[in-house]
Structure 1
Amino acid sequence: MKKLMLSLFVAFGIAACSLGNDDLPNVDCGSNAELPFTGIPLLCNYSVKTLPNNPAFILIDSKEKLESNFTKHENTCTVASDPTIDFTKYNLVALFGGAKPTNGYAIKMTTIVQNNCEIIINFFEKGPQTGETLVQTPTYPSDFILIPKTNKTILFNRTNESPDNIVIGSFGAQNNFFQINDYNILTFLNVQTDKYEFAQYKNTVKTKRSEYTIFLKTIPAEITALKGKTKTYGTPDNEDQGGVYFELRQGISVTKIYIDNNDTDDQSAEIKAFKKVIKDKIATLK
């Protein structure tokens, strides 16, 4: 594929650079391929020294640069979080949405492709959702990922994605948890039982389209009718060989379901069938 070699351009609109064909020579960059990356809960262990008022990103390629931009503090997440980054293998990409007037804003890097010349990071932003309680205090949305160490030009591409998602998991002798979006699938690493605030876990990312929409069709009406409530079927705990977990996030509504691995009297035929759907999906994602 013929592309222009573009200079790194850190401005959010986002367009890359506006260069004419005579500005730089054409270079054959080859075809795009998915680039694996890891989401990292950096703010569990670090705080930003200077919060940017305008959208920006920082590429961190050394411990010295990390320490010049972030201040290390004690872990503030409810799970143990390893703050170590091997900068011989990875670069840290820190993406900032700039100052926002209230809570409810977020920015998220979703998928990455690369070719022989450049890396293109796709991202989306969201604002407050309908019905969300807002506090009139400025916030600074951010997102952090690790990518394989590189010297390639990095470009950003704004997309229109929905923040709605589904989390499925199995817990007990082994814990396996995944987030299903309409643009990718996250595998959460080292999830602890009953500590299901998933933003505090590292995750690996695989690009896959429309999985959320497809899985949404399998949810029984009994569960969709709960609309933001939490319900437990049976007694799913480690002594009873664990269970399955289901979480549906739509706007500000968060529905959570725990289902005993054993079939119990409170599990309807539809719930038992849905439990199998979850387990089968987890098996394909492992």
Structure 2
Amino acid sequence: MIKILPLLFLMMSCSSPKTVSDNSFSIIHKSEIGGSDKPGHLLIQDNEAYIQFIESLKLDESEYANFLKVDFKKKNVLVLFQGQKNSGGYAIDIESVSNNDNTIVVKKSEIGPKKGEIATTVITTPYCIALIPKGNKLIIE
């Protein structure tokens, strides 16, 4: 019986790469105004680029406290842009983050106004800023 356990352990450790749910992401900031006119994303991997991005948002100084210092050895900053919309009621968010063999897979969630719902008539550019784990590759679904 004792000889079987190491063999069983070896067989289990040689299995194919697993997808690991990594709930270590956190949303730093979300807004309906101030994002990019085009849908897409921005991956920030160093402090200098992060500071430049924050300054480009033209936020009130009181909001800077929301942008904590990021340890770029462990995390990256991901910015998701929903693009320009012709009314309020739109938002973009992260549903989940998983790590599949050092590939970070981010599932995003895009929200729009419901049919028949009254929405403000204003041009919006929703975006979401989040901390995500580091990885060799990033896939956004």
| Residue aligning to 2:11 | none
CA change 1:69–1:89 in 2 (3 A) is same
The letter for the 2-side match of 1:153 is K
Q: Aligned partners of 1:69 and 1:37: how far apart in 2?
A: 22
Instruction: Determine whether 1:31 maps to 2:31.
Output: no
CA contact (8 A) 1:57 1:96 kept: yes
The letter for the 2-side match of 1:121 is V
| Residue aligning to 2:68 | 83
Match of 2:138 among 154, 159, 164: 154
Q: Aligned partners of 1:73 and 1:63: how far apart in 2?
A: 20
CA contact (8 A) 1:62 1:87 kept: yes
The letter for the 2-side match of 1:93 is L
Instruction: Determine whether 1:40 maps to 2:35.
Output: no
Alignment TM-score, normalising by the size of structure 2: 0.72
Alignment TM-score, normalising by the size of structure 1: 0.38
Match of 1:105 among 86, 90, 107: 90
CA contact (8 A) 2:28 2:131 kept: no
How big is the shift at 1:119? 1.5
| Residue aligning to 2:112 | 127
Instruction: Determine whether 1:55 maps to 2:42.
Output: no
The letter for the 2-side match of 1:39 is S
How big is the shift at 1:34? 0.7
Q: Aligned partners of 1:38 and 1:113: how far apart in 2?
A: 10
CA contact (8 A) 1:42 1:83 kept: no
How big is the shift at 1:73? 4.1
Instruction: Determine whether 1:140 maps to 2:125.
Output: yes
CA change 1:125–1:117 in 2 (3 A) is same
CA contact (8 A) 2:25 2:133 kept: no
The alignment's C-alpha RMSD in Å is 2.8
Instruction: Determine whether 1:69 maps to 2:56.
Output: no
Unaligned runs of 5+ in 2: 1-15
How big is the shift at 1:43? 5.6
CA offsets 1:178-213 (integer angstroms, 9 cap, x no match) = xxxxxxxxxxxxxxxxxxxxxxxxxxxxxxxxxxxx
CA change 1:126–1:67 in 2 (3 A) is same
Identity %: 26
How big is the shift at 1:100? 0.6
Alignment length (residue pairs): 123
| Residue aligning to 2:8 | none
Q: Aligned partners of 1:120 and 1:93: how far apart in 2?
A: 12
How big is the shift at 1:36? 2.4
Larger radius of gyration: 1
How big is the shift at 1:139? 0.7
How big is the shift at 1:94? 0.7
CA contact (8 A) 1:102 1:137 kept: yes
Runs of 4+ in 1 over 4 A off after TM superposition: none
Unaligned runs of 5+ in 1: 1-28, 158-286
